[in-house]
A and B are shown apart, each in its own frame.
Chain A
Amino acid sequence: MEYFIHIGIVFFIYAILAVSLNLVVGYTGLLSLAHAAFFGIGAYATAILLTKYNINFFVSAGVGMGLAGMASLFIGIVLSKFKDDYYALASLGFNVIVCSFFINLDSITGGVIGIPGIKKPSFFGLEIHSNFAYLILALVFFVIIFLVSRFIVQSSFGRALRAIRDDENALAVFGYKVLNFKLVIFVISAMMAAIAGSLFASYITYIDPSIFTITESVFILTIIILGGLSSLRGSLLGALFLILLPEYLRILGLPNDTAAQVRQIIYGLALIFLMLYRPKGLVGEYEMK
């Protein structure tokens, strides 16, 4: 049972990451490879505030969101100058730069060693001890983020985003401030990723910079491409599939290290085959242009 609870928590965390990235990549057509950076900002905010200052988890998550929001606003403004492959490359660059901060500001981030011993959240003086309670917490956050995302996607704002994706110039001609739309969605998405980071840090209780590298950004991108761009349901499907994948491999009885590599090979091949035969993903509604 504990085992399924663990899988459930990890699934909710990655579902939050996938849904939020899909808002930017799938709905707005901006191929961002910086998502792990915002995930990391949330995780570090919670880790530092919880271990060093003994601050409440929910406050730390709020601080993480705020920091990720500010960072993404700045990054988003710079990225708005770029298109397509240059956008992807520059966003990847920002992920590397944010990671360097995690590594180099060692007096507060613990450098390459990271931060161990992160506490579980407490709720009105009640500490969340059991994993089951944590599952409920992750579920609540996930449901809120999913509903907010669905609301955004179905609103007129969301329609404007899809229009930007399909023909930015046409929308600009109609007097829409395209830049503002792109910035708002980029910041919202980053703040959601920060929440996933806060949940991750206090659940795993140990973080270090190697978790939030570009490999992680590519992994989250793989989830949404597999599930399908521009489909929130697809992101859940993709997350479920790729989170369960290492578990299947464990059933096959591969040693841990080998299993990790085999998992990488499978998700690399998945990307290649999807691009060759089904660029829309499993249930996606939009194909990259």
Chain B
Amino acid sequence: MDMLTQIIFNSLIAGAIYALVALGFNLIYGATKFFNFAHGSIAIAGGYATFYFNKILGVDVYLSVLLGILCAGFLGYISNKLVFSPLRKKKSSHMIFMVASLGILIVIQAVISLIFTSEFQTLSSSLASSKKYIFLTGIITKTQLILFLSVLLIMGLLVLVLKKTMLGKTISAISDSEEIARNIGINSNRVISYVFVIGSAIAGVAGIFVGFDTGISPTMGMSLLLKGVIASIIGGVGNVYGGVLAAFMLGLIENFGVWNFSGEWKDAISFAVLILFLLFRPQGMFGKK
């Protein structure tokens, strides 16, 4: 087994998870223009919902995954319905949205800890994770392979929805300017509600995969979200492809950095990258000035 190949594999897996978070985050940010801190905790909530159905109620694995995704989507829906939509009606500033989303993050995190304790939980044994493939000179588990392929699938589907359907076109109209979109008769409240459901469901997929891959704990939401945010900023906020590419890049930088330094520096490395980007290339890798 070759170290280099293994690091690249690990980076791809981490990148795939970050890409999912970035996809959902970008979608919501595009339509609402605020940093939704609740996004990461909703991802983790999706993972815990799957854990609950599969490990506690004994529901079939694939059905549990589906239910987990639905739960995440539902959380996105109610957070918009109860908090963000009323704030939009009051024309609150972006900072107020952001602080409110911090509040939601704290609440979801604490509720999860109350129900499941703050210990690490893992989903892995329920999806033949013992099966390993040796590919080139590295090892990749079946779970990781499924994860990687589903990210590509979800990304493809999302691009298709955004480019080809009426919903996709209204979403991009709202992202360009909510006011104009409203003026030409788009029901922006309803579309933003869809955006929250879809974006949160995608985040839920990420949380579920973290559960299968390394295991989840209630407070992981914040760091997961930050990786997604960092990826979407590096890729250029609102740029779907850029965000995904940057997520994989972030995975590489982190894993190579960890190889050189130590595991505990991981978060510091990604933030250093973010701050450097914000300073010298705020429009992201692919953005135009």
Contacts and interface: CB of A to CB of B under 8 A. Distances in A.
B106 A225 contact: no
Contacts of A221: 99, 102
Given A78-B275, A85-B98, A265-B110, A103 B103 contact: no
Interface in A58-110: 78, 81-82, 84-86, 88-90, 92-94, 96-97, 100-101, 103-104
Q: Is the interface of B mostly helix, strand, loop or mixed?
A: helix
Interface string B30-55: 00001100000000000000000000
Contact of B274 (A85, A90, A270): A90
Given A81-B279, A96-B271, A214-B222, A268 B105 contact: yes
A84 B98 CA distance: 10
A268 B35 contact: no
A276 B83 contact: yes
A272 B83 contact: yes
A215 B222 CA distance: 9
A122 B103 CA distance: 41
A243 interface: no
Given A100-B264, A271-B103, A275-B100, A93 B83 contact: no
A218 B98 CA distance: 12
B222 A93 contact: no
Contacts, number: 120
B278 A276 contact: no
Contact of A279 (B96, B226, B265, B274): B96
A215 B272 CA distance: 20
A146 to B, nearest CB: 25
Interface string B261-276: 1101101100110110
Contact of B104 (A78, A92, A272): A272
B110 A97 contact: no
A83 B71 CA distance: 34
B17 interface: no
A89 B110 contact: no
Interface stretch (B87-95, B120-128, B187-195): B87-95
B156 interface: no
Nearest to B115: A261
A288 interface: yes
B112 to A, nearest CB: 9
A209 B267 CA distance: 14
B268 A265 contact: no
B149 to A, nearest CB: 32
Interface string B245-289: 000000000000000011011011001101100110010000000
Given A85-B95, A100-B267, A104-B265, A276 B100 contact: yes
A218, A272, A287, A288 — which one has the most chain B CB atoms within 10 A of its CB?
A272
A150 B278 CA distance: 35
Contacts of A90: 274-275, 278
B30 to A, nearest CB: 14
8 contacts: A84-B94, A86-B278, A93-B226, A221-B102, A279-B96, A287-B96, A288-B95, A288-B99
Interface of A: 31, 78, 81-82, 84-86, 88-90, 92-94, 96-97, 100-101, 103-104, 112, 214-215, 218, 221, 225, 257-258, 261-262, 264-265, 267-272, 275-276, 279, 287-289
